[in-house]
Chains A and B, each alone.
Chain A
């Protein structure tokens, strides 16, 4: 095992999620460029919205995970909003950062749904439990 000790201990990983912002291509869509040009250079938006006219949103997030068992923590979030005017050319581009977001608990209630569920007994009897497995036949008492 040739992993140097630093490899062993550097446990943290970073994840860049969602849209990948590329500063140069951003410069290619100055105000006034057409909707198709934006689609061509920035690609399909994560989601769109229409105020009085259309808006493209490119959402990207960066997460950090100190150790594999931890949940990745949101360290940066960027929402790139491209506002179009009536002639659907770019009016302005806004940049929402992590600080604009709010943290609160989402509602836990959900709309009930139907469908067949499997009880444990059904799982055992429905043959989804295999017969005695080979490994267990000769297991030494500890």
Chain B
């Protein structure tokens, strides 16, 4: 019983066309009064009815911002990415790229889960710094990259601790080393050095344990982790002695500054 649809008037499917500026201003009005869903619909209407017009460009970036404010990150990313591709040289493009980074940053899962969104946040903030150097969002982008890297370091530590608990030292060591070598400027480097001390000590590699503890003490003298490592070495009659040439001291040479707040 297929519906008889010859009589349907095709034009009824066309939504009435309103002038672009009217729609755009309605969108702005809704946005200011906080009716985000309504604002988004207006901006999308401009974009659809007057594609590639001047107002379409303006409402595209506003639609992206509104979606972000509403927490609909996928839509915000899609709208921003369309803007950046269509108008790469426009001064709003930096803002659109910034929104992409923010959208991924806000979906960063906690450490026991897949850190894809964290990596995407870093990638997009880096693209912001490279393609739009000197933009007003630079400082915040840098801070957010540091926080995202801190999260990646947290994941490495979590897997490292998983293997350490099971005394699978061959698996744990490379994980903690990675944090010290590549994530030296995150908050996890203190714990990584302490875990290295524990691992080497448990394996019976006394000299490495001492070196790791010495580096920890040298860089973070008042850290609780250093106190723990010192106590641990004391049980074996050892005390931290830095072996200058060791990879640990080489890796942390350039990280003497205390890690910035995460």
| Chain B residues touching A, majority SS | helix
Known: A19-B170, A116-B107. A51 touches B243 (CB 8 A): yes
Which of B17-25, B31-39, B50-58, B195-203 contacts its partner? Answer: B195-203
CB distance from A31 to the nearest CB of B (A): 20
Interface size on B, residues (CB 8 A): 49
Interface residues in A108-138 by Cβ distance below 8 A to B read 109-111, 113-117
A61 cross-chain contacts in B, Cβ below 8 A = 167-170
Instruction: Say if the beta carbon of B207 comes within 8 Å of chain A.
Output: yes
Inter-subunit contact B170/A46 (CB<8 Å):
yes
- Closest A residue by C-beta to B173: A47
Name the residue among A46, A61, A81, A113 with the largest chain B CB count within 10 angstroms.
A113
- Closest B residue by C-beta to A73: B167
Known: A52-B245, A116-B107, A116-B109. A103 touches B202 (CB 8 A): yes
Instruction: Say if the beta carbon of A30 comes within 8 Å of chain B.
Output: no
Inter-subunit contact B173/A113 (CB<8 Å):
no
Known: A17-B168, A49-B247, A51-B243. A101 touches B208 (CB 8 A): no
- Closest A residue by C-beta to B176: A47
Inter-subunit contact B169/A59 (CB<8 Å):
yes
CB distance from A34 to the nearest CB of B (A): 20
CB distance from A95 to the nearest CB of B (A): 11
A111 vs B153: C-alpha distance when bound (angstroms): 10
A45 vs B47: C-alpha distance when bound (angstroms): 58
A74 vs B154: C-alpha distance when bound (angstroms): 28
CB distance from B246 to the nearest CB of A (A): 5
Interface size on A, residues (CB 8 A): 36
Which of B107, B204, B207 interacts with A101 by CB under 8 Å? Answer: B204
Inter-subunit contact B187/A111 (CB<8 Å):
yes
Interface residues in A40-94 by Cβ distance below 8 A to B read 46-53, 57, 59-61, 71, 74, 77, 79, 81
A77 cross-chain contacts in B, Cβ below 8 A = 169, 203
Name the residue among A51, A60, A103 with the largest chain B CB count within 10 angstroms.
A51
A101 vs B209: C-alpha distance when bound (angstroms): 12
- Residues 3-37 of B, flagged 1 when their CB comes within 8 A of A and 0 if not, give 00000000000000000000000000000000000
- Closest B residue by C-beta to A113: B154
Instruction: Say if the beta carbon of B151 comes within 8 Å of chain A.
Output: yes
- Closest B residue by C-beta to A79: B203
Known: A102-B202, A102-B204. A107 touches B194 (CB 8 A): yes
Which of A71, A96, A106 interacts with B203 by CB under 8 Å? Answer: A96
A116 vs B105: C-alpha distance when bound (angstroms): 10
A64 vs B187: C-alpha distance when bound (angstroms): 37
Give 29 pairs: A residue, B residue, CB < 8 Å, sorted on A. A19-B170, A49-B205, A50-B245, A51-B245, A51-B246, A52-B243, A52-B245, A57-B205, A59-B173, A61-B169, A77-B203, A96-B203, A96-B205, A100-B203, A100-B204, A101-B203, A104-B202, A106-B161, A106-B164, A107-B194, A107-B198, A107-B228, A110-B157, A111-B154, A111-B157, A114-B108, A114-B110, A114-B262, A116-B107
- New A-B contacts (14) at CB < 8 Å, excluding given A61-B170, A71-B166, A74-B167: A19-B170, A47-B177, A49-B208, A50-B250, A59-B170, A77-B169, A104-B232, A106-B164, A110-B161, A111-B187, A111-B190, A114-B110, A114-B262, A115-B151
5 tightest A-B contacts by CB?
Answer: A100-B204, A115-B110, A113-B154, A18-B170, A59-B170
